């Protein structure tokens, strides 16, 4: 039976990456199976840290059980804080939580300082996640790592469902080349430094090809560019 489905997505303005492609692919796949599907997206502001709670509250206040007088049969939420939305048939396909408050906390990748005000925000995120994710009628994640983090920090079980590549129809099996290919966005959070530092210590010369773009490109080129002869 065809359903009316809304996919809930968090959008950082001017940033487009894997999460956005996942939402597009899910929308198109559901439409291809005869469902009526649309995407509800709200902007997300994480700086200053205190504004995170505003973004979360915006999702919590939305009522999308009906739209234009017609019932919405199901919502599918993807990443923080979209899964705080209320709906009796809420399913989560978790891309990630707000990792600055979780496994990145206490590292240079986190915006949270060890001060009372920001610790309070972090505690609130934990409580909101446990409530919002706990309400879901089913919880899925995009990987075993995401499922492990969810269980470790929040005590919630989930099932990994790996998203297919949007380029699946164009991919084929071929011979291995003499390089490592990275399609990750050039962002400090992707920790591409680890790959480059590992290459520099390999016994036999190796190289990497980066197919992505992003704000960390200038820093990576500056820090790791090969010296000119």
pLDDT top residue among 174 and 38: 38
Q: How confident is the model at residue 227 (pLDDT cuts 50, 70, 90)?
A: low
Residue 226: what pLDDT? 64
Sign of the CA dihedral running 154, 117, 188, 55: positive
The three-class DSSP label of residue 88 is coil
> Structure pTM?
0.86
Q: Is the pLDDT of residue 152 over 90?
A: yes
Residue 46: what pLDDT? 82
Q: How confident is the model at residue 66 (pLDDT cuts 50, 70, 90)?
A: very high
- What integer is the mean pLDDT of 2-23? 89
Residue 228: what pLDDT? 52
Q: Is the pLDDT of residue 28 over 90?
A: yes
For the chain, which domains are there? 4-160 (3.40.50.2000), 173-224 (no CATH)
Which tens digits make up the pLDDT trace of 119-151? Answer: 999 999 999 999 999 999 999 999 999 999 999
Of 16-20, 64-68, 200-204, 212-216, the range with the highest mean pLDDT is: 64-68
Alpha-carbon distance of 95 to 80, in angstroms, equals: 8
Residue 203: what pLDDT? 84
Alpha-carbon distance of 80 to 89, in angstroms, equals: 18
Helices (H), ranges, the chain: 18-32, 52-61, 116-134, 144-154, 192-200, 217-224
Which tens digits make up the pLDDT trace of 164-209? Answer: 877 777 878 888 888 888 888 888 888 899 999 998 888 888 888 9
Q: How confident is the model at residue 153 (pLDDT cuts 50, 70, 90)?
A: very high
- Collect all residues with Cβ–Cβ distance below 8 Å to 15 and sequence separation of at least 6: none
User: How many CA atoms are closer than 13 Å to the CA of 69, on its beta-carbon side?
Assistant: 0
Q: Are 77 and 141 in contact (CB under 8 A)?
A: no
């Amino acid at each position: 039976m065809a359903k009316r489905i809304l996919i809930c997505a968090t959008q950082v303005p001017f940033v487009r990456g894997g999460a956005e492609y996942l939402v597009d692919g899910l929308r198109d796949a559901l439409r291809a199976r005869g469902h009526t599907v649309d995407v509800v997206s709200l902007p997300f502001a994480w700086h200053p840290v205190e504004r995170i709670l505003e973004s979360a509250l915006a999702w919590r206040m939305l009522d999308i059980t009906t739209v234009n007088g017609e019932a919405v049969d199901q919502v599918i939420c993807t990443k923080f804080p979209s899964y705080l939305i209320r709906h009796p048939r809420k399913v989560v396909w978790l891309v990630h939580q707000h990792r600055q408050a979780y496994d990145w906390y206490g590292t240079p990748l986190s915006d949270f300082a060890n001060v009372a005000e920001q610790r309070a925000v972090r505690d609130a995120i934990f409580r909101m996640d446990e409530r919002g994710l706990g309400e879901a009628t089913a919880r899925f994640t995009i990987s075993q790592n995401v499922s492990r983090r969810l269980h470790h920090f929040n005590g919630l079980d989930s099932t990994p469902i790996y998203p297919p590549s949007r380029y699946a129809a164009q991919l084929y099996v071929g011979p291995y080349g003499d390089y490592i290919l990275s399609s990750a966005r050039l962002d400090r959070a992707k920790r591409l430094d680890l790959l480059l530092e590992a290459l520099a210590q390999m016994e036999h010369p190796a190289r990497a090809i980066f197919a992505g773009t992003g704000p960390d490109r200038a820093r990576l080129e500056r820090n790791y560019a090969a010296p000119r002869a």
